[in-house]
Structure 1
Amino acid sequence: MKDQELFDGCLLIPPEADLASATAEMPTTGGVCLFTTGDNQPVLLLYGGNLRSQVRRRLQDDPGGERMRRVRLRPVVERIWFRRAYSAF
């Protein structure tokens, strides 16, 4: 991504990785994160008060195989770019 200076960091999330350990370095502070594909195509831009819980919630698999209106992002997303925000959301 050519605008890497906009973000504080980036996590690589392989599709087969354990979600809890793969996102352990994600900050628990408020901020913004961008989900991208392996070739840095943007998929989803999120903001929230706790980035780690936001990311885990959006990438977790369907609970109990129930039909949901959400798109399964886990097979598509390989990178998560994040930037901390030092203000309340």
Structure 2
Amino acid sequence: MSSTLVLSVYILTFTLGLPANLFTLAALASKSRRRPAPPGPAPALTCADLLLLNLTCADLLLLLFLPFKMAEAAAGMEWPLPAALCPLANFCFYGSTYL
């Protein structure tokens, strides 16, 4: 795959994904503050809300490290940043898939 296509997909993912996930995180935070916690051990968020929160956090972790992958794609798939960042950025980028 050409690095231009990869960079285009990364940019599109970042520009659409970041606002959408921040909006979802804000909506979940607002929902948890709005709903009074029932007496007893029941949480303010439902199971579906917790799963959505987990997915949102995993997506935000991926989006946080996506600019490093964008820099790599812009440099022709060669790592242009300090060598110490390469394993860390790749670990966080691909590790967010397993959260």
TM-score per shorter chain, which class?
Answer: under 0.3
Using structure 2 for the length normalisation, give the TM-score: 0.25
Which protein has the larger Cα radius of gyration, Structure 1 or Structure 2? 2
Using structure 1 for the length normalisation, give the TM-score: 0.27
